[in-house]
Amino acid sequence: MLNKVILIGRLTQNPELRYTPSGMQVATFTLALNRIYNNRQGEKVEDTTFIDIVVWQKIAESCAKYLSKGSLVAVDGRLQSRSYDDKQGIRRKVVEVVANDVRFLNSAKDSRGSVASGNKIAEDEHFASEISFNEEDIPF
């Protein structure tokens, strides 16, 4: 079986960093994925999908520190579904992506909002400070 997801999109808000009771870091954020296509009348239509992302441990801390609303990122992970009971006792189902890797695709910013140096980002092997691509490079 294969469960692999690769997404490129922009954060809809700043990541939310929390800690489990055992002290493990977990961050969550939502990615907006835009798709432009031609409808049957030949008109360009833009469609946006919103995907919830969960990251753990050091990657979670780095995301919380360097990402903010509007940041462009690539996420590599797996799809996960889970259920829970809300405050009214209604059973809810959630589908989210659990990220194994998050790549920064635009200039990283430190917690004060200034552009971080390349060396600062390069210290974390999970991130690249700048990667350029165009949509023709994407194989799907």
| Banded pLDDT at 106 (limits 50, 70, 90) | confident
Q: Report the domain count for the chain.
A: 1
Per-residue pLDDT, 59: 94
In a domain, 69, yes or no: yes
CATH code of the domain in which 120 resides: 2.40.50.140
Q: What is the pTM of this model?
A: 0.72
- Do residues 32 and 4 make contact, with C-beta atoms less than 8 angstroms apart? no
Torsion of CA 12, 52, 72, 127, to 10 degrees: 140
What digits encode the pLDDT tens for the residues 9-36?
999 999 999 999 999 999 999 999 999 9
Q: Which residue range(s) make up the domain with 27?
A: 5-134
What digits encode the pLDDT tens for the residues 65-84?
999 999 999 999 999 999 99
Closest CA to 7 of 68, 56, 54, 59: 54
In a domain, 139, yes or no: no
